[in-house]
A and B are shown apart, each in its own frame.
Chain A
C-alpha cells in the first residue's frame, strides 16, 4: 500500500514536470512584470525596521567593531557569510552572529525565527548590497567540512517520498516547469544573494534557511532546525553556488 502511494506521488511530480509547462508556463513579459515589482518591494519597510533595530545596538559601526573589521570593510565581510568565526569556533550564519552580538552586548537575544530577527538579518545583509558573494569554502578546515556536510545534506534523499534538495535542483531537471514555475538553478538565480526575500504567497520576509525549511516541510522531510550545523552547512553549499554574484537584498519571490 505504502509503495503504491509513493509511486502515485512520484508520478504526480513527474507529470507536472513534463507536461505542466506547455499549459501554464509564464511568458517572459509576465516575468518581466513581476521583476519590475522589485522596485517597490514591501520588504523594503522590513529592512528599514531592521536598520532601526540594529541602530539600537550601535548600528553598522557597532556591528563592524563587534566583528573585528573596519566599517569600510564591513560590506565585503558580510558578503562572505556563512563564515568561520574564531571567537565562536564555528561556522555561523549572519543571524547567529547577530545573536552573539546581542548576547555579548547584554541585549535580549532574539530567536532566529522571530520577525524582528528576520528584519535585522535582512538589513545587515543589505549592507553588502552590490558586493559580490565572496564565501570561501576553502578558507580553513571548518569551511571545508561545512561545505562537505552541506553537499551531503543537499544530496541525501530523505522522508517518505525519498526526496532530496537535488531532486528538484539537479542539473537534469533545472528549467523544467513544476506547477507553473521553472525549477531554478540555485546558483544562476543567485539564491545566496537574494534571500532574505519577501514571499508574495506568505506576505512576509523569509530567510534562506527559513525557505529551505519550507521546502523540507512541503517535501515531507524532517525539518532541520535554524542555526543547526546542518542547515548552516546547506547555506554554505548553496551560497557557494552563487559565488561572485552581487548581493541584492531584499529579494522578491513568489
Chain B
C-alpha cells in the first residue's frame, strides 16, 4: 500500500470514530419515551415555583470532564453552608439535563447532616450538562452545572 493511501484511509476512520459519540446520542432520541419523561426546564420550574435559580460559586459540582462510560458517572455536590438551625441547605437536586427523565436524585437535608455534601453515580444517555439545584433554608435557590462528554470507550 502507498503511504499516502494509508493515511487517507486512516483519515476516514478517524472521522468516523470522532463522530461516533454524537451518533449514539442521536440514536438515543429515537428510543421510546420512558415512563417518567420530565425535562430539566420543567423540573426547575416546578421545584422553584417558577422563580428560577441563581448560578452560585457556593456550589461545588464535581463530575468528570470525560466519562469513562455513560452507565456510571460519579457526581458530587458540596454547598458552602454552616448547616446550622437558622442557615442550612434544605435540598440538593441532581439533573442529567438531556436524559429522558432529567431528574436523578433529590436529597432533603437537615442541620443534623453537619455538612452539605452528597455524592452518587448517574447514567448519562449522551454528552450533556449535569446540573445541581440547591434549595437554601431561606427559600432561595442556587444552581451550578458542568458538561460531561460521554464517549463509547474501552474494550467490552
Contacts and interface: CB of A to CB of B under 8 A. Distances in A.
Interface stretch (B7-15, B31-39, B77-85): B7-15
A175 interface: no
Interface stretch (B46-54, B58-66, B93-101, B137-145): B58-66
A36 B74 contact: yes
A26 B155 contact: no
Interface residues of B, number: 25
Interface stretch (A8-16, A47-55, A94-102, A145-153): A8-16
Contacts of A178: 154-155
Nearest to A168: B155
Contacts of B13: 11-12, 15-16
A16 B21 CA distance: 14
Contact of B152 (A33, A34, A179): A179
B24 interface: no
Contact of A37 (B74, B149, B154): B74
Nearest to B21: A24
A224 to B, nearest CB: 16
User: DSSP class of A's interface residues: helix, strand, loop or mixed?
Assistant: helix
Interface in A79-128: none
Contacts of A20: 14, 17
Contacts of A168: 155
A19 B16 CA distance: 12
Contact of A214 (B14, B66, B121, B156): B156
A218 interface: yes
Contacts of B17: 12, 15-16, 20, 179
A14 B17 CA distance: 12
Contacts of B69: 200-201, 254
B14 A15 contact: yes
B14 A30 contact: no
A26 B156 contact: no
Contacts of B74: 33-34, 36-37
Interface string A186-218: 000000000000001101000000000011011
A30 B151 contact: no
Q: Give 7 nearest A-B pairs by CB, closest first.
A: A180-B153, A200-B72, A30-B64, A181-B154, A15-B13, A254-B68, A179-B153
Given A20-B14, A23-B18, A181-B154, 16 more contacts: A11-B13, A25-B66, A34-B64, A180-B68, A180-B151, A200-B69, A200-B71, A201-B156, A203-B72, A214-B155, A214-B156, A215-B155, A218-B156, A254-B68, A254-B69, A254-B153
Interface of B: 6, 9-10, 13-14, 17-18, 62-66, 68-69, 71-72, 74, 121, 149, 151-156
